[in-house]
Amino acid sequence: MDISLAAIHTAKYVIAQVNPRVPRTHGDGLIPVSMLHAAIDVDEPVYQVLPGEISALDRKIGQNVASLVEDGATLQLGIGGIPNATLSELIHHKGLGIHTEMFSDGLLIW
């Protein structure tokens, strides 16, 4: 069971903010309306942060890391210039997976 569903099953109250501009994701992100105690409809732009410039040093490190990654690998990435540089260098890799507790800027645009 996904942690979000586990939280819903144990929560005293479940309140959802529904925004048609939020992109749909894979996994257990769909919650049946019958599990909600209340829902609030909003139609607002989704907050965005564009990644900063990748430094020359971060780019070199990213190239080195990407050269070690095989097609079909599963990645766990952090936040910052090096993960973003690495992601930018993995553009031609095939079948990569992501296992992470957070999404870095580079992963969001990858």
pLDDT, tens only, 55-76: 999 999 999 999 999 999 999 8
Residue 28, pLDDT score: 67
Is residue 101 flagged as an active site residue? Answer: yes
- Does the pTM of the predicted model rise above 0.85? no
Examine the domain organization and report whether 75 and 30 are in the same domain.
no
Task: At 43, list the tokens.
Answer: 């139609």
Q: Burial, 16: exposed, middle or buried (Cβ in 10 Å; 0-12, 13-18, 19+)?
A: middle
Closest CA relative to residue 104, chosen from 69, 31, 54, 44? 54
Number of structural domains (the chain) is 2
Domain that holds residue 15: 3-41
Q: In whole angstroms, give the CA distance from residue 78 to residue 3.
A: 20
Residue 77, pLDDT score: 85
Residue 8 lies in a domain: yes
Examine the domain organization and report whether 77 and 102 are in the same domain.
yes
Examine the domain organization and report whether 61 and 105 are in the same domain.
yes
Examine the domain organization and report whether 23 and 62 are in the same domain.
no
Examine the domain organization and report whether 60 and 37 are in the same domain.
no
Q: In whole angstroms, give the CA distance from residue 88 to residue 83.
A: 9
Residue 79, pLDDT score: 82
Residue 51 lies in a domain: no
Q: Could you list the pLDDT tens digit for every one of the 110 residues in the chain? A: 455 678 888 999 999 999 999 888 777 677 889 999 999 999 999 987 777 889 999 999 999 999 999 999 999 888 888 998 999 999 999 999 988 777 666 776 66
The active-site residue, picked from 53, 70, 89, 101, is 101
Residue 46 lies in a domain: no
Please write down the HEC assignment for all residues of 20-59: CCCCCCCCCCCCCHHHCCEEEECCCCCCCCCCCCCCHHHH
Across all residues in the chain, what is the average pLDDT?
A: 86
Residue 48 lies in a domain: no
